Structure 1
Amino acid sequence: MESWLTYKKSDPTLKRVFYRKIWSIILLITSIQGLFIGLAIYWVAKENIGNELLRLHRNQIVQRAENIDDQFAYLEMMFAHWAFDPKFDDKLKNLDFRYKYEQILDLYRTLLVMEGNHPLIQGVELYLNTPRPFIINKNIYVYLEDQSDISRYQHLLQQKKPMFWTEGFRHKTLQDDETAITVVNHIPGGSSEPIGFITASLNKERMVKLLKTLTPYNEGSTFLMPRDGSWIISGNEEKNDDLVDALRAKLAQNENQPDAFLFNYNNVAYSVSYGQFSRLGTTWIYVSAAPLTAVTKPVIFISQIFLVVSFGGLMLALVLSWLASHRLYSPIDRLVRLLKRERGGDQRSDNKDEFEWIEGQWTRMAQESRSLRNRLEDHLPIVRESFIHQFVQGYQFALNEEEIAERLSQYGWDLSGRLFVILIVQLSGLSNLNGRFSPGDEGLLTFAAANIAKELAEQNFEQFHVLNFHDLSIALLVAVPSEMPVKETRKHLRGFAEQLMEMIHRILKMRISLSISKMTQHIKQIPFLLEESRQALSYRNLSDENQVIDQEELNISDPSNAFYYPLALEKEIIRCIQRGSEDDAVKLIGRFLQELSDKCLHEVTVQHAMLQLLGGILHTLMQSGVNTMKIYEGANLFEQLVSHKEKADLLRWFQNQVIEPIIRELISKQDYHLKQMVDKTVVMLKERYMMTDLSLEYCADQFGTSPYTLSRVFKQITGTNFIDYLSNLRIERAKDLLLGSDMKITDIADRVGYQNNYFTRVFKKYEGITPGQFRERYRSG
């Protein structure tokens, strides 16, 4: 304010002209335009916002309906899995319910687990038709005697579908006059001759609460029913109110209604949204009706506020524009003082006003800006590399098609009449390079491969970009002319891919898998092409050194993709781990991998089988009481396993990260027992060393363990292997007899558990001389 007063005293005429202009402009900007905007908002935005709220309301209903559909789908999937549980197989035909109490208790616990697995389930019941009709649930297990009950249950058993929904069935877990929506699943799963079924009844109260989520405004109505209308569940307090009946009649009149429409009932307009759930071959229909007043009520209130505020703003603008003109010079003065300070106190000349002086300073800064722009152009390649890298990997998803095209055009891409294709190169076999490269050189190898790809691409394509992921994989984004025939383009791409593989393999000596994506003219689809190409690499043929995977020719349903799993080998591996036989377990895992490679030609099937093997090992350990979280320190083994692609890496990872920690844990638990076993073995050797049939196998049988385990533990505790310990014991005893008696050497050999010829060889091996020479030397000495 002080600076403004100073300027007013020095040049009052300039202030008056400037003041009138600014006052007029501010008045026009703040009042007239604000009034027009307020009216436009009231008359135009009212309708648009109302429609947008209706659309959001309908989308909200669809999302909540999808959530309900997901809950039913999860219940069906969970129930289907239980039908294949070993507890419900054909062995139940011969179950004696009077004496097999533990098995009955196990079935009872399983039913309780099933009932608690989903919040919508009210009760689970098992029905067996053989040898006598029998039911079991959380309340009772009893034979059925009433013929009407037997007929009801057998009617469900005779249904052709192995799994289906029903509504009129009365469970023993419910009241006599109560029915519930029920899912029925025949057991055993997949059998053409079921012996019974499992049923799960839904809790009506929870179903009603779930349906109420489809009416977010707590007004209107919502209900669920099958297409034939045989039953209905309403989210209202009254099940069959007039609005529900009217909506059902409306839907029955025209089944081709759109999924959302307006419906007038009792002078009230409702926004109606409905859809369908496909449930095990039947169709369920959900309907949600909300009054339009509940949806659009906030819009009317806000529009009125806009109008009032606009008129109030008109009056306020008159006052504020007058005040603003008095203070307008303050920022101009601050700008002048700031520029003077930045320019080292440069003073404007007397024949220039502030704006002329600011213009001169602006010209000077523009020159500096051009200089900075030139420096920025020098860094443009780095910026272009960063943008394309982020865009191809999906990090620029917020940009639309036109914005991405504009950015690429700025970076020199000609996008007119172009198709885009992604090529991904995956290097493998680093562990087989025999010292040429080592772990940690992945970035160097990827850099070399990217340079080779760039050099070769320059000879084949006009527009391309190489992306280096620094993890033994690179990608090429290629733009090809759209007027070129598709077959010819694919042929050219495949030829380039084979040439690139041959060159990388010849220089780096590594195996290459290359995936060629489909072509697209939409730039926004490029990140999806990259992801699909990465997934296609999992279908590489393990029997080939190098391979090109063309997604146009990839057939996922090929019989060679069928899943194979050597279950017998898994059981042998687990038994070896439980015995502590690390070497045997590793060998069996190697056999497991080899058998998978022979049977399953694609990486994805081998990977799934190895994940299942890991899960089987961990499951068995947990059943045995082993704390796997403690052994592996909370590491995600499944995530680590997926990162290994080669057989050698998989085998090494299983040995170092899975088998060895387990063996160490098992050994630590057995240390005390094993030490006692070794102590007893030493005592046995000292007492029975003269037995000719005394051996490692004999001692292992005495203590109920394997020769391998006894040998390993004996060496670990005594520091000497079993054979050397026994031999030293016998030789020392033989030396005592040679020096302290006149027994013949053959008798001494027999006394210490050796045959004569073998005794002489062993004695000379340990002492360096024969038994006779030993006696003669020490007696003569």
Structure 2
Amino acid sequence: MKKTWFKKTVFSYLPSLYVTIAVIVFLAIFIINEVSLKEAERTNRYSTESVIHTVENHLKSIEQRVINQMQLGEGWDEFFRYEGSESSKLRMLNYEALKRVRYLILDDAAIQSIYLYRLRDNMILAESRFESAQTFGDRDFLFHEWSQRAFADRTWSDVRLYNDNMNDNEDHPGYRVISFSQKARLPMGGEGLVVINVSVDALISQIKDIIDPHVSYLHILDGTGQLVFSSTADNIEERMVMNRLHSSVNNWEFVSGLQTGVAFSWMQFISRIWIVLGIATIVFSLAYTLFITKRNYRPIEQLVQLIQSRSDTRAVAGKGVANDEFAFIQKAIDRLIDENALHEAQVQETQLNRRKQAFATLLESDEPLHLEEWNRTLLRLDLPQTFEDGIAFVIEIDHYQAFERKYPSRSDQNLMKFSIANVLQEFVSTCGGKTWSEWNRKNRMTVVYLQAPAETRPPIAATLDSFRSWVGSHLGFTVTIGVGTPANQWEALRTSYRHAIFALQYKLSLGYDRVLFFRDAPKQRGPKTHGYYGEMNRIAQELRLAKQDWSRTVERLFDDMREGDFSDDEILHLFEYFKSGLNQAMEELPHELSSFWKGSLLPEWHRAIERESMDEIAAAIVEICQQAQHSVAELVKTKSSAQTIHQIREYVEANYWSSELCLTHLSDKFNINSKYVSQLFKEHTGVNFADYLLTLRMERAKQLLASTDRPINDIASLVGYDLPLSFGRTFKKSVGMTPSDYRKHMQSAVKLHPVGSDAESEGNHECLREAHRQ
């Protein structure tokens, strides 16, 4: 489709666009020129200020050196103080003063001359003469300066001609200088005057080194408006002045600017004219744009009117649509697209539902097929009405709950199922023929395969097995395939489908992740499930007896079940029946065992039943039964050991005095291993047997030492020690003192607290024995 309207719109706006852009570009250029001019003015100001600072700093430096000489130099001070008339001394003083003058002049080339005026004798000392002020050539300036009594705000003089010769010379009227005078001596200044003349030409030579006459110009005027220096020959009025700065040190005015020609002045003029032209162009472009937009809007307006006349405006009305034509058009188009997409989705959903309904009618319905209607369905599905060899098989995803946990979102699950269908199509396409597949269960895909002639196709068993291996290797889960019997007509495929389902019903016993054929499924059934009920009840009741080989009995039961050729439902039913028997047996046991069964073992049992192999389920349940057997055995063992340790403790407490009492003696007495006796003591009393026996003997010995006067040797024999020396060492190690010291200590305590001493000792002994019994 040619974009006529687009081209027309573009070309109508181009003139206004280009003109506006051109004006804006030129306007930007001249604005940049203005900015550049401002920048040049600022740069020129910096340059002029640099010149001023150079001149001022130089003059201030001369002032400071002269003042330092007046304050610190001895030659000038002695010159102004001299009052005598001795000629030799006068010449010496003049020499010293002139030496200081020449030193200053030689130190700064800008100093043209320096002379000293002494008020006392009205004499002038210059570099080349010593004469009276009345005959001095610069006497007018000298007397004028001396008449100015206030020196606080003195500045440098205006540019003047200096000549120290009283006789005027027309060929050399004098030097252009600026002068600075300072009264002497400091600080009062009533004895004379020092005049410093600085060459204007020397200062100008420094300024010339700073400025570039090709870029900028500089005019310098003194306080009277006299031109001191000009970098150009033109008149000041003929130049564009950018900066006019004043020096407070020497009262000079510095006028500067750029070396501009006619083109630069013309550009400045044009830049101002162009701003007006730019504003006028923008106004014109706006008017032109409104005119063109109105003309180009006419087709849109006609389209809106057409939509309004051909459709229900309420259907496309919405927020902001009434005032926006493009939104109105967009709304109408979106509504049209939505209606078309909805119609296509409905058509596709209808076709998908018809396809699934036809598939269900073919395989799961018991009603015979109506040939005419079925043939129309086959024609719509692009399937042949007749075929020579067909077969139905069912693909089931193993461990589907684990599959759902691995792919929790419905979209991921559908993607995996779509991959299975596509990969199957790729594998089966090598065999020729056509396939029709549907996911008629969430974990099962049923496939109707119309095979090619037998002489041209590979065996379907090998193809399906290759497909099964590929899924396990590449998709991260496994599938089991149930294959039915061949069929040569559409209704016969129902039987093939039922045979495929029948083969899958033996997945627990035959195994998963394999191809199961109907011909391999058990046809001759073993004993019925009710034949196992009695055996399971007996095994469940024997759990309470805690026999060591009880778990082996459970394993033999499961081995018999494997040989019974049971279907999956029958196997799960037997496991459920066995679980009920174990539940009943556990309910009859103590509460801690039944709680352990319900809280820990039953959840493991439920997880074991979810497995898809008889061997895996049996192995998991045998492990659960072993845990149950172990818990019951531990309970029986605990009850038996508690009774045994009670008897042993009573015997030990009654016969602690016997020197033959030891673990070996108790082992022989109660027919129990000596290590087991020690273990029982540790578990039930918290101490081992030796410490328990030692505590009993030491407590009895302390009682006898405190309450009787029997010899220590007799007491040692009464508590089971044949050797008194061994008794003494053991008593001291246990109590912290010897038996004799303990008797003395207790007798002293009895004297202090005679009432109830024996009773308290006996009471303590009985409390200790009671604590050990507990």
If the length of structure 1 is used for normalisation, what is the TM-score? 0.34
If the length of structure 2 is used for normalisation, what is the TM-score? 0.34
Asked which structure has the greater CA Rg, the reply is 2
